[in-house]
Structure 1
Amino acid sequence: MTNVTSEYTLPDDFTSTEVSHQEAIETVIDSLQQNNSAMVHHDDQGYVWKFQYGSVETYVQLTGETEEDLLTVWSPVLTLPAKDELGLMRKLLEMNGEETLETRFGIMNNQIVVLSQRAVADLSPGEISRAITLVATIADDNDEKLIETYGGNPIPNN
């Protein structure tokens, strides 16, 4: 057997390939989405993707590619009101401090969500992957337990 690398001369002029934030997001969503559920909307305010991951829908918004633009990832977990809102809020604050890593629980449009947001300046494809994966996983791992324990209504899947 011959040594293939000794017979092939590597070029000196390799060029780097940059992946846009949009391409990185679409690659991650393609690897996580279930049942061909991924959808995208594009307008003058950027892109918004949504996809099904387990029992939750996850949304990803990219406002653009400049350093000031934002990547926001969120996944609704339950709709308020809950039967034990004080207990729920305490639990979410404890989880924010101990379990959610770079994500956090919050309230958006009367829904408890898991979210992550940051400027795209110096944002790597690995960071994009981590943000999307963490939000989707934490939401999917906790939605049913939180509803069962504290009440609230499940998020209807569109």
Structure 2
Amino acid sequence: MAYSEPLIDRSPEVFPVLEEPVRYVEVVSAVVSSLKEDAAYENHEQGHTWKFTYGTAEVFVHLSGESPEDTLLVWSPVLSLPVAEPAKLMQKLLEKNWSDTLEARFCIWNNQVILNHYRTLEGISAGEISRAVTIVASLADEYDEPLRAEFPPT
């Protein structure tokens, strides 16, 4: 027997939606403050950016805005280019992207190897934001010195 109407009326009139919009700036600020109390913050035309040092790594967290279509970008430069044995470096980074970096990844930008995480805000939770920032910061701190030692600048 098929039912044509729901057993429970879940219309907004019966079950109003009480969720307040997420204030991503406040959530990110709390996450960054939990890692580093004295993080620098800048509000500018391109969004909101936090900068802090985690161990030996410099970490940046950027919100492009507050809507679900905007993005969270977390990045940390770990190595300047060019380096000795660039092919060996690229192979190592690609292997690490597959096996070691979780939701983060190595990439190249502005003559630097960057460890980053990039995601739209649609459906993101405070826990996901915390995980993204923590993963990038801790992996950048773990990999920056060994990569610089193994691949010196040319």
Q: Common fold, TM-score beyond 0.5?
A: yes
Percent pairwise identity: 45
2:80 pairs with 1:86: no
**Counterpart position of 2:3:** none
Deviations 1:19-46 (CA, angstroms, capped at 9, x unpaired): 5211111111111127x2x111112221
1:65-80 → structure 2 map (5 Å cutoff): 65-80=66-81
When normalised by structure 2's length, the TM-score is: 0.83
Deviations 1:89-112 (CA, angstroms, capped at 9, x unpaired): 100000000010100000111110
**Counterpart position of 2:27:** 24
Give the unaligned 5+ runs of structure 1: 1-14, 154-158
What amino acid is aligned across from residue 121 of structure 1 in structure 2?
Answer: E
How far apart, CA to CA, are the structure 2 residues paired with 1:95 and 1:47? Answer: 30
**Counterpart position of 1:99:** 100
How far apart, CA to CA, are the structure 2 residues paired with 1:152 and 1:104? Answer: 22
Following superposition, the deviation at residue 147 of structure 1 comes to: 0.9
Give the unaligned 5+ runs of structure 2: 1-17
2:137 pairs with 1:136: yes
2:147 pairs with 1:146: yes
How far apart, CA to CA, are the structure 2 residues paired with 1:108 and 1:42? Answer: 23
**Structure 2 residue matching 1:113: 3-state secondary structure:** strand
What CA RMSD, in Å, does the superposition of the two structures yield over aligned residues?
A: 1.7
**Counterpart position of 2:36:** 33
How far apart, CA to CA, are the structure 2 residues paired with 1:75 and 1:131? Answer: 12
When normalised by structure 1's length, the TM-score is: 0.81
